[in-house]
Amino acid sequence: MKTDTYMRHFQFYTKSFRLAVAFALGIMLWSPDLLAQDNKDKQPQQTTQQTPDGQQAPQGDPQQQPAPPAGGLALSTDQAVIDAGKGLFESNCKQCHGINEVVVGPALAKVYDRKNLAWIVNFVKYPQKTIESGDAYAKALYDKYKQFMPNHDFLSDQQIVSIVSYVKKAESEVPTTGTTPVNGVTPVKEKGVSSGLLTAIILGLTFMLVITVGALFMMAATLTKYLKQSKGLSTEDLDVLEPEWTIGDVLRSRAFITIVAFLFLGLVTKAGLEGLLSVGVQQGYAPTQPIPFSHKLHAGQYEIACQYCHIGVEKGKSANIPSANICMNCHNSIKTTGPWMQKIYEHVLNDEPIQWVRVHNLPDLAYFNHAQHVKVAGLACENCHGDIKEMEVVQQASLLTMGWCIDCHRKTDVNHKGNAYYDKLVKLHAKDSKKPMKVEDIGGLECSKCHY
Amino acid sequence: MLKLTKNIFFAVGLGVALVGCQAGGESAGTEFAPQMYTSVSYEPLTQVTNPNASDYNSNPYNNYGGKKAMNMRLPVEGTVKRQNFRGANGGNPFVTDTTKLLIYDLHKDSIALAGRILKNPLPLNDAVVEEGKHLYTNFCSPCHGEGGKGDGKVGAMYKGVANLVGGAVLNASEGHIFHVITHGRNRMWSHKSQINPEERWKIVHYVKNSLQKGSN
């Protein structure tokens, strides 16, 4: 009878354990599916390529007719001419014109069908003059693109024709290049191991572990219960039932309490000391800015030099926070919409500075000069500001304590190459020492260098 | 035992309070002596946002459109821009030919004139070209690219960036390039607030004598 009950219990536990394992495995297998689904949703929508011809050609133009060879100009299919045209196109036209896409000016595909070559040559050489002369087609182009193309009068007629010849050759080849889909095959996005999948696996494994441990404890309890009910046990079995000491005894012992109290007080003291030392140290400070400017995007992805915006860094004490007109150098045409851009535009229009939150606050009692460190010493910004190219929100990476300054002044060699200011100091230093001249050797540790 | 518990609580309390002094995220942490931290005289980038800071912030903030946490100020009314003190058109006899062109006052639309009359006042030597290259890398290469082909990473987004080593710019005069950096042209905007005249002339030297000759 008793054995039966025990067996039934045991079977119940094993069954529930199996169920739990199956459940956990289910979670793990299901989540990649979910993630894959997610990725599918995130794939960029393929927009249909707009057909350029017809779109660019202003309607109802009286001069529009197929180009008869005019003034001895004719398109060439000669490979040498096309190659020459390609070179000219890449260095002179590509910046503003695509073959099949509108960039700054119109797409050039089929331009030879829209206007005759003589007109094209004249327009390329003197666009503004042609537009202002009242030419209807040219004026329509200007109204559409709101931009005067610069004069290209340095190109010869033959060169311009060779460019058009290249355009004719290239327009049929263009769909095979770039990211445009070929025959409906969309580019497949590479799928890395996402953090979501990892979390799901870890959660599944943890769940399995908890269930296993629980099942084992229950089994142990059942077995102990079973042992208690039987008679004539061996000494080993009795030891299991009535151990000489229990965990409770250990927890209540004087030695244990002393050790725990000691460790605890040690930890509290450590935390307290660290707290005291952190007073006035702002390492890790990463305030939210009024506009979430991303250094990761601008300095990291687009590799804009720090100096482009922080213009004071090589000239003066402060690196300076850029004024909004510097934002406008690019954002007059890149990403011109969105609530944050709108906010910048408002600041520009109202002639009112953006109130950025200052991150690095060196106390007034210490003097620091950016130009001396960046221009003279040639240090990279990352030395003190950390991996700014990875920061979505800027935070203070270094301690900016006096010890931190001095440590660097002790270790760093003076960058005296090509700087006559240091010539005599180097000579003096070389008299007494064979080691390279450090900042501390020329007074880099003197109080009055920074505190006055 | 009660005394021990009390002591432990006190220690823990002190520890927690001190950990709270640390900076991180939105919190700038505790300042030890704000009187010594904040400049008494005006510094343009000082920023004290504590409204009760009058005891250590002796200067009231610039009332900039109702926002009072900035020290930036507009120039005094009637201030004359240094660059307009005298200019390329001549005028001040005490200014030598070399320093003359470091001050620039030609109008934005006078690009043809600038291209005709301006000569680079800086001596052409390796050091100047080297500095020009450094400035070019900082201010020009995001759009015009390291090699000047108009293929910088920002340029790819901005579109319509001129090729400096081919086409029209190859034949452009020094004055033309200087004027374009100063006032911008077509799609490019003015960079005169970022690059001063001397630096612009250094860039011109680099572009004309190194970049366009393919020796960079």
Residue contact A305–B171, C-beta within 8 A: no
pLDDT band at A58 (very low <50, low <70, confident <90, very high): very low
Would residue B152 count as lying in a domain?
Answer: yes
A147 reaches B (C-beta below 8 A): yes
B46-101, pLDDT tens digit by residue?
777 666 666 666 556 656 656 556 676 677 777 765 654 444 545 555 555 555 56
Same domain, A420 and A447: yes
- Tell me: do B154 and B183 sit in the same domain: yes
Q: How far is A90 from chain B (nearest CA, A)?
A: 9
Task: Please check the confidence at residue B2 and state whether its pLDDT lies above 70.
Answer: no
One domain, residues B65 and B113: no
ipTM: 0.84
Flag whether B204 is in a domain.
Answer: yes
**Closest Cβ–Cβ partner in B36, B45, B165 for A321:** B45
Domain that holds residue B200: 82-211
B70 shares its domain with B91: no
- Considering chain A, what is the average pLDDT of its residues? 80
- Contact list, B65 vs chain A (CB under 8 Å): 350, 352
- CB proximity A173 to B under 8 Å: no
- Tell me how close the Cα of A375 comes to any Cα of chain B, in angstroms: 11
Q: What is the pLDDT of residue A9?
A: 59
**B102 within some domain:** yes
Q: Which residues have a Cβ under 8 Å from the Cβ of A53 and sit 6 or more positions away?
A: A109, A110, A113, A114
Of A264, A286, A358, which has the smallest distance from its Cβ to B47's Cβ? Answer: A358
Q: How far is B87 from chain A (nearest CA, A)?
A: 23
Number of domains in chain B: 2
Residues A134 and A171 in one domain: yes
Q: What is the DSSP letter of A374?
A: I
For chain B, state the CA radius of gyration. 27
Tally of structural domains, chain A? 3
Tokens at A397, concatenated = 């990476």
- Shortest distance between the Cα of B117 and any Cα of chain A, in A, equals 20
A10-13: long-range pairs with CB below 8 Å, 24+? A10/A219, A10/A222, A13/A215, A13/A218, A13/A219, A13/A222
Domain-embedded: residue B15: no
Answer yes or no: is B12 within a domain.
no
Give the confidence band of B38 by pLDDT, cuts at 50, 70, 90. confident
pLDDT confidence band for A388 (50 / 70 / 90): very high
Using a CB–CB cutoff of 8 Å, tell me whether B167 touches chain A: yes
> Which B residues 113-142 touch A at CB under 8 Å?
137-139, 141-142
B3 domain residue, yes or no: no
Are both B97 and B175 inside the same structural domain?
yes
**Does B96 lie in the same domain as B66?**
no
Q: What angle do CA A331, A334, A337 make, to 5 degrees?
A: 80
Interchain contact, A285 vs B24, CB within 8 Å: yes
Contacts of B40 in chain A (CB under 8 A): 364
What is the C-alpha separation between B153 and A284, in angstroms, rounded? Answer: 31
Domain boundary among A131, A150, A176: A176
Note whether A200 and A119 are same-domain residues. Answer: no
B111 shares its domain with B142: yes
Rounded average pLDDT over B126-141:
93
Domain range spanning residue A416?
401-452
Does residue A257 belong to the interface with chain B, where contact is any CB pair within 8 Å?
no
Buried b (16+ CB within 10 A) or exposed e, A215-253: beebeeebeeeeeeeeeeeeeeeeeeeeeeeeeeeeeee
Domain assignment present for residue A132? The answer is yes
